[in-house]
A = this chain, B = another copy of it.
Amino acid sequence: MVSKNTIKRITSLSQKKYRNREGLFVAEGTKVIKELLNSSLELVMLYTVDDSAFAKALQHHSFEKLKQVSSLELKKITFLKTAQNAVAVFKIPEQKKIDRSGVTLVLDEVRDPGNLGTIIRLCDWFGISQLVCSIGTVDCYNPKVVQATMGSLTRVAVVYTDIEAYLLKEKRIVYGTFMDGENIYSSSLPNEAVIIMGNEANGISKEVESYVSERIAIPRFGKFQATESLNVATAAAITLSEFKR
């Protein structure tokens, strides 16, 4: 049985305020949970309708942390429209120290959980170990972000900080994507760099723009001038691909 109070506490974790207060976040589905169990994250409790699915993954965790529940109970604690077969609560780990080597991606107020999740996966794919986010960027422990990252969250250090203060101390070249920037396909791109991606609607803010030393652009090939700018996650995909290729 899952008590009313537990249900209330778990469901409250959909909100950042309660995640921070409790220091906990939620992951759902066998695949994502298994990846998180395989990392250094600390499991608080795993609720599942099928404990056999986790037998191996739970080897290094106390068996008291697994709770077999009914589908009805799982429905009460899921954040998804259609519940997966498991919901797990993990401790939010301490934020990693800032590392100023290699390529670092900086997000200036990215708001959409799906975009952040995709960008974390991209960092993982391209071997970018640190993602620096402005304080107003969507929380990486937002349940939608956790679902979208598919485990990459455990391999990319996401750091929330005042990005102006961060950029002020930066010695690497700082790149930003702008419509009027230099063609990224013909720019020479270094192995050590900071790349800033901006907000979905407004791009890079004026304050942050002043720290950009190299303005780059992904050229548009379509003949229609009306074409909207690229989505921030696809722009990040192309930009990281160009830096790493």
Contacts and interface: CB of A to CB of B under 8 A. Distances in A.
Contacts of A126: 221-222
Interface stretch (A12-20, A49-57, A71-79, A225-233): A225-233
Contact of A221 (B127, B223, B226, B234): B127
B241 A125 contact: no
A22 to B, nearest CB: 26
Contacts of A125: 218, 220-222, 227, 230
Contacts of A114: 114
Interface in A84-131: 114, 118, 121-122, 124-128
A166 B118 CA distance: 31
Contacts of A226: 35, 38, 151, 155
A152 interface: yes
A17 to B, nearest CB: 20
Contact of A222 (B150, B155, B238): B155
Nearest to A38: B226
Interface in A25-74: 35, 38
A121 B221 CA distance: 12
A146 B223 CA distance: 21
Contacts of A35: 226
A9 interface: no
A8 interface: no
A237 interface: yes
A62 B118 CA distance: 43
B118 A231 contact: yes
Contacts of A228: 121, 124, 150-152
B244 A241 contact: no
A126 B237 CA distance: 14
A204 to B, nearest CB: 19
22 contacts: A118-B231, A121-B230, A121-B231, A121-B234, A124-B224, A124-B227, A125-B218, A125-B220, A126-B221, A127-B223, A151-B226, A152-B227, A155-B227, A185-B245, A221-B244, A230-B237, A233-B233, A237-B237, A237-B238, A238-B238, A241-B241, A241-B242
Given A118-B234, A121-B228, A155-B222, 17 more contacts: A38-B226, A118-B231, A121-B231, A124-B228, A125-B222, A125-B227, A126-B222, A127-B220, A127-B223, A150-B228, A151-B228, A152-B227, A155-B224, A231-B233, A234-B237, A235-B237, A238-B238
